[in-house]
Amino acid sequence: MKEPIFSGTCTALITPFQSDGCIDFARLGTLIERQIAAGIDAICFCGTTGESATLSMEEHEAIISFGVETVAGRCRVIAGTGSNDTKTALHLSLHGAMVGADALLLVTPYYNKTTQEGLLRHYTYVADRVNCPLILYNVPSRTGVSFQAKTYQTLSAHPNINGVKEASGNFSLIANTLALCGDDLNIWSGNDDHTIPMMALGAKGLISVASNLIPNEMVAMTHDFMNGRSKQAASRQIEWIPLIAALFSEVNPIPIKTAMKLLELDSGYLRLPLCEMDSKLRQVLIEEMKKSGILT
């Protein structure tokens, strides 16, 4: 049995950029403190929501180091260290482990993609060389490749592979994985709108985009379920579905950064090729924020 890195809600934190494109570490620090004040269970730096694909190696390492230092043990820190190049993933993973991240999140190789055998070799190569728990990240809508349940089963035997962030939306895959792996592989929802259904199957919680905006509410939802209040958790899930849909009406993290700016939170700028939100979709987002009561 593998103890989960965290149970509950982890925020996949945005990366605030200044108008000149530089990372705004002052704003990043403010965002971290807001998350911790909300009782978040973990923070993930340099994930998809953090625009990791646009970061240089130096920027990536600086954000992870800053995150670990600022959090200072007050919640778990997960470092996004995935790449479509195995040696780059190893380099980032070694750095994340060295500076004190609690776990490493590695997305499946994108663009060049790979076979199931390639996935086995890629993750085993990193896991064999890093003394830090790994969380696999399955998001085929972005990468074009998905794990199969048998591949999960093989990887779950590795002592350094703790679990997976599942964002495929494939509940048959999730159920089959749980049946094959049992307690040898922890699963977290990678989709805000699938959290409670996945926790009902056995997921340990959520790695969230929406909790950038509403951390208290997403923490309450997962903790309700964990504490046996399944009806309340389901009600919270349903309550936030319209807002979550608006937050994914365009490519993440465009809507979440837009929503945070509307609340005058320190979201900073997007980095090209991401750009401002479509005006019609932005208006829909505003209306959903008003309906939910978080924007007056």
Do residues 97 and 104 touch, judged by C-beta distance below 8 A? yes
Q: Which of 137, 152, 204, 269 is catalytic?
A: 137
Residue 137: active-site member? yes
Q: In 3-state terms, what secondary structure has residue 13?
A: coil
Known catalytic residue: 291?
A: no
DSSP 168-192: S--HHHHHHHHHHHGGGSEEEESSG
CA distances from 270 to 50, 97, 127, 275 (A): 10, 28, 32, 6
- Maximum pairwise Cα distance, the chain: 52
Report how far residue 217's alpha carbon sits from residue 81's, in angstroms, rounded to the nearest whole number: 28
186-189 vs 103-107, strand pairing mode:
unpaired
Main-chain phi, psi angles of 140, to 5 degrees: -60, -25
How far apart CA 169 and CA 140 sit, in angstroms, is 9
Choose, from 152, 165, 204, 257, the residue flagged as catalytic. 165
Q: Which residues are catalytic, by number?
A: 137, 165
